[in-house]
Amino acid sequence: MTDFEHLETLLERRHSCRSFLPARVPRHDIEQILLAAQRAASWCNAQPWKVHIVSGDALENLRNALHARAQSAMAPAPELDWPQEYRGVYQERRRECGWELYRATGVQKGDREASLRQSRENFRMFGAPHAAILSSEKLLGT
């Protein structure tokens, strides 16, 4: 298999998971993934990020705090600006992706309560047994 065929296979198999098995990924596997990710391109090859892997009780505490904030009346405060607007083909793609997600999770079109409940699962990280949090110094920009 050629390098391109390997890449094509990986890209074809990629998907956005909306529910994870509770089994933890072995630490060795996580370390291998992080070693491979170190090869990612970055501005001036500075690789300005820090990666924090959260699991177990710490992840559960984070999950609960994020979910509680999402359910509160507090205004969202993203670290990075959200898109101002989706138009044209971008809006079409976003809608198609959203309807496919709701179809896959059993949310009926127009069921606002169920769609809100499903949306809040983002803050529970869909039950993932680990989370990778990437950070960088503010002075480095986005």
pLDDT tens-digit map of 105-139: 899 989 999 998 888 899 999 999 999 999 999 89
Q: How confident is the model at residue 54 (pLDDT cuts 50, 70, 90)?
A: very high
93, pLDDT greater than 90: yes
Q: How confident is the model at residue 33 (pLDDT cuts 50, 70, 90)?
A: very high
Between 47 and 60, residue with greater pLDDT: 60
DSSP state of 134: E
pLDDT of residue 68: 93
pLDDT, mean of residues 71-85: 87
pLDDT of residue 17: 81
Between 80 and 3, residue with greater pLDDT: 3
> 55-90 burial string, b = 16+ CB within 10 Å, else e?
eeeebeebbeebbeebeeeeeeeeeeeeeeeeeeee
Average pLDDT, the chain: 91
pLDDT, mean of residues 63-85: 89
142, pLDDT greater than 80: no
How many angstroms separate the CA atoms of 95 and 80, rounded? 22
Q: Which amino acid is at 115?
A: S
pLDDT, mean of residues 44-68: 93
Strand spans (E) along the chain: 50-55, 130-135
pLDDT, mean of residues 40-50: 88
